[in-house]
Amino acid sequence: MSFCYVLRCKKDNSYYVGATKDIANRLRKHKEGKVRYTRLRLPIELVFLKEFPSYSEALKFEKRVKSWKKRKSIEKMLEKPDNISSKQLGVV
């Protein structure tokens, strides 16, 4: 399984969109400051997580989200029922 995720950077309230095969490891790297974009914007909060059967599908979705020009589009997506970030995942 693979995931597309959105983080909210609390320092400047910006969003970071990414895709990964290992969500727990990727979130740990963000929180440890090992990801350039989020390093200067810590702390972060996982606000969206969607599971995909393949990494290529997660990447496709990530690219689609990144192509949206308006912040409102991302915020609308956060309210979708397929957002599993609020479920018990043990990764937050």
Tens digits of per-residue pLDDT, 46-89?
Answer: 999 999 999 999 999 999 998 887 778 888 888 878 888 755 45
Instruction: Tell me the residue range of the domain where 34 lies.
Output: 2-77
First-to-last C-alpha distance (Å) of the chain: 18
Is the whole model's pTM more than 0.75, yes or no? yes
Tell me whether residue 83 is in a domain. Answer: no
Using alpha carbons, list the distances in angstroms from residue 87 to 14, 19, 73, 84. 23, 18, 22, 5
Tell me whether residue 86 is in a domain. Answer: no
Number of domains composing the chain = 1
Tell me whether residue 87 is in a domain. Answer: no
CATH code of residue 19: 3.40.1440.10
